[in-house]
Amino acid sequence: VRADAERSAAEPNLDREQFRLDWLGRKQGRLKAISDAWLKAAPVEAKKLIGQRFNELKQQVEALVDESAATAVKVEVRSLDISLPGSAHRPGAEHPLTKTMNELVSVFERMGYSVGIGPEVETDFLNFESLNFPPNHPARDTQDTLVLADQEQKPLRERLLMRTHTSPVQIRTMLAQDPPLRIVIPGKVHRNEAQDATHSPMFHQVEGLCVDTNITFSDLKGTLDHAMKSLFGSSMKTRFFPSFFPFTEPSADVQISCPFCNGKGCRKCKHSGWIELLGCGMVDPNVFKAVDARRIELGLEPKYDPAKISGFAFGMGIDRMTMMKYSVSEIGLLFSGDTRFLSQFA
């Protein structure tokens, strides 16, 4: 009873340690004194009874000590100083690549385009053959391909590979939908290329496809000029250079006036004032023919007669576009996951 009373008295002052020492201290604690005075000195016939009583007392005291400790934990929690400054949690931010991709996609959405996606593992037919790259044609060498293992026993058109561009999704779209259509397709692509400052074996493209009656090259120019101005600012200029892609005819490479020097000429644009950003062109009639042939194989009505419809397509490298937009010197920084780099975009 005395121990209990003392414990209660000690609690408001949190003097628990003193209470514990007073009772359980090895040299001068009360239990030690009781043990010396009563237990050790007891006559043999009383030892059992006194021992029992002593143990009861000891357990009681220990329970009080434990109870005090539990209360102490609660008291300490309650006594947290809420006026202390908290530790900062920095919120995450959109990756610069995702930012560029989303901005670009929404520019096209505002022009009435819908958004599509496709798989990164493709068939040779969709990645190459239907896009007018015949088997063994040298144009295939322009996109060094990563092929999946154990495909040799399959017919060439069914062999699986990592898509080298987002253009196969043009074919997927035309097999699934009837014209007219306007679609943008963002996604990852893979090529067997060594990494340097501007090349990566995995990079990102945004593909575009517009098919309708009477689509002309000037529609293509106007659309891409508007998209580039929306992304880089209205003072930016575009120019179109003749180029070659098997799936577009005529084809063009689009250059924009260098955003680093405003077209005056600097190291970034090799003093030309222009930077190349994307490939584009009018959909080659052979692509429409391949789509209709495949639609017939699949039991669908052919709808892409090149005598009745026309279209344009484009493909942009989003990694390089992001590098332009945010003055990033190394493509590898975009994939490094280095928070010192990424936190600059928060």
From the CB of 262, what's the least distance to ligand FA5, in Å? 21
From the CB of 200, what's the least distance to ligand FA5, in Å? 4
Contacts of 167 (CB under 8 A, 6+ apart): 127, 131, 207, 247, 313, 315
Among 127, 223, 248, 310, binds ligand FA5 (CB under 6 A): 248
Bridge partners, 264 (sequence order): none
How many other β-carbons are positioned within 10 Å of the β-carbon of residue 92?
10
Residue 320 interacts with ligand FA5 (CB under 6 A)?
yes
Residue 255 interacts with ligand FA5 (CB under 6 A)?
no
From the CB of 281, what's the least distance to ligand FA5, in Å? 5
* Coil vs helix vs strand at 147: strand
Q: Dump strand ranges (E) for the chain.
A: 114-115, 121-123, 160-162, 181-190, 202-212, 238-245, 248-257, 274-283, 310-317
Bridge partners, 281 (sequence order): 251, 313
| Angle, CA of 228, 164 and 162, to the nearest 5° | 135
Instruction: Count residues near ligand FA5 (CB under 6 A).
Output: 22
Contacts of 149 (CB under 8 A, 6+ apart): none
Q: For ligand FA5, which stretch binds (CB under 6 A), given 83-91, 214-222, 292-300, 308-316?
A: 308-316
Q: For ligand FA5, which stretch binds (CB under 6 A), given 40-48, 52-60, 87-95, 272-280?
A: 272-280
Among 159, 165, 172, 182, binds ligand FA5 (CB under 6 A): 165
d(CA 223, CA 219): 6
Q: For ligand FA5, which stretch binds (CB under 6 A), given 23-31, 55-63, 176-184, 273-281?
A: 273-281
Residues 186-225, mask of contacts with ligand FA5 (x by CB under 6 A): -----x-x-----xx--x-x-x------------------
| Angle, CA of 108, 305 and 115, to the nearest 5° | 20
Residue 125 interacts with ligand FA5 (CB under 6 A)?
no
d(CA 80, CA 105): 50
Among 96, 118, 179, 281, binds ligand FA5 (CB under 6 A): 281
Residue 167 interacts with ligand FA5 (CB under 6 A)?
yes
From the CB of 331, what's the least distance to ligand FA5, in Å? 6
d(CA 327, CA 313): 28
Annotated binding site for Mg(2+), which residues? 249
Q: Which residues bind ligand FA5 (CB under 6 A)?
A: 143, 165, 167, 191, 193, 199-200, 203, 205, 207, 245, 248, 278-281, 313-315, 317, 319-320
